[in-house]
Structure 1
Amino acid sequence: MTDFHLTPQHTDHDLALAHVTGDLDIATAPDLRSQALALIEQGHRHLILGLADVTFCDSSGFNALVGIFRCAKAADGSLSLATVPDRLERLLSLTGLSTLLPAYPTAAEALAATRSPDTATA
């Protein structure tokens, strides 16, 4: 098991970009969820999670992402993913989560899409 970290890298009004590192599994999923929800509760209702350094993700990790998505939506916000490793992108597609969680190749593209007028008023 590797260490898990969620590190906010950019916060701007109702938007936050956070970098996630380590394993997302039964041991770390509750921390992912609680730390992400803390950002939403601080007013950053549009959340982008950069996943480039996620080394493993099981169903508990995916479940945490769905929970974060639901809380962001309840706050009239959104959850987007950036720099998703290929193996996770395939699993998101296979599970159908890719329809809920938009994924972008870079954090810059995720930031630009989240700041677009269509997303800002959603």
Structure 2
Amino acid sequence: MKTYKSKVDWWLVIIILAVFGYPIVDGILSKEYILSIVFSGILLLFYFLASMLRYKIDGEKLKIGYTSIDIKTIRKIYATRNPLSAPALSINRIAIVYNKFDEVLISPKDREDFIQELLKVNPDIIVEV
């Protein structure tokens, strides 16, 4: 089994820190510690979820979170910067088209190695990266 972490955009980290950091600092300065505690908890939850985001290639299965995709059903992989909600922490993504009409957007840190591992299992995948 091979595991790949998600690529993380620096600007996304700054936005999340700004959005959740401001109420933390404001809560401390205004002595509303409950506000700081709640937003610190939310920030820790974001960190925990982001650190757990991984893509696993286990035999003939690609596991993304709780989703399992049969690599033999993958038809195409292409580069995209689509900002739609996806299990990806970067806007620099790849789209994986599988089955007949299914698609998932991900952002593996080591994109080239990830694609090569998929091609070892299914050499018929069309790659447009």
Normalized against structure 1, the TM-score is what?
0.26
TM-score, with length taken from structure 2: 0.25
Larger RCO, structures 1/2 (Cα 8 Å, 6+ apart): 2
